[in-house]
Chain A
Amino acid sequence: MDIRELQGYASFFMTIFLVVMLYGYIIYLYRSEKKGEKDYEKLGNIAIDDEIDSTPVNTSDSVSSEKKEQNK
């Protein structure tokens, strides 16, 4: 197998691999939100509520919805 062929295979499989990963990530994002493990949209508040003494938006992994601060 010469280097050209190797190059072709490598690029093909790596591309497939990365595309699968990307789609996997999309599914992961939505699924973990649906299951209630995570709340990604909440992370948007990091930029809005960014005083040094304000409570971190995300200290641990799970969503603790009762602590969720309303800061809009």
Chain B
Amino acid sequence: MFHWLEKNPFLFSVGVFIVIAFAGLIEILPNFAEAARPVVGLKPYTVLELAGKEVYKKDNCIACHSQLIRPFKAETDRYGQYSLSGEYAYDRPFLWGSKRTGPDLHRVGNYRTTDWHENHMWDPTSVVPGSIMPAYKHMFTNKADIETAYAEAVTVKTVFNTPYGDDIKPGREAWEAYKPKVIEEAKKIAADMKNQDVKDAVNRGEVPEIVALIAYLNRLK
């Protein structure tokens, strides 16, 4: 009965494939439609926030920080309301993380402010003695790639119907027209910061990574 399986490498491979593919099909596919639904009132990330998310990804904060509050009292006491599936509807990729060397950040926007982050990212130990988080001074000089962030907004709007306004559309002209809005948003963040170089850069129409990152962190609520 199983003779063919042992004799024919091709049929064998088909057999292996069916056995291993089956779990995935049953387990993952049916859940898709449901879990993708956003919670009521969830807004897509602004372009500046997306740029900040890119900084978060680039410097791989996920290596030490989770964004997933589990439904235990100890966690909700520490970080706030436990996480809901629909809150992640616009997270591509998801950034739950798998390691908490540092605290969870899913609702960090509720209890930390722009100036706190500014000091902390410049030198964590100056804010929290004993911290082992690296200082990210280079974020104060490196420029965030807001153009690519815009491209991401256009992509998720076009391909996945993420509800952005009509001013987000493909092409260089559309981007040039949109750019001032991003700078405006950045200026609001920079206004609460004290680093003069950062303020100057924003006034010149550039967005240092730290500004975008803080916009993103403030949005995590």
Contacts and interface: CB of A to CB of B under 8 A. Distances in A.
A4 B7 contact: no
Given A3-B30, A10-B26, A61 B7 contact: yes
Interface residues of A, number: 12
Contact of A14 (B1, B7, B22): B22
A69 B7 CA distance: 22
Give the interface SS of chain A, mostly helix, strand, loop or mixed.
helix
Interface string B27-51: 1001001000000000000000000
Interface of A: 3-4, 6-7, 10-11, 14, 18, 24-25, 28, 61
Interface of B: 1-3, 7, 19, 22, 26-27, 30, 33
Contacts of B7: 61
A10 B22 CA distance: 10
Contacts of B1: 24, 28
Given A18-B19, A61-B7, A28 B2 contact: yes
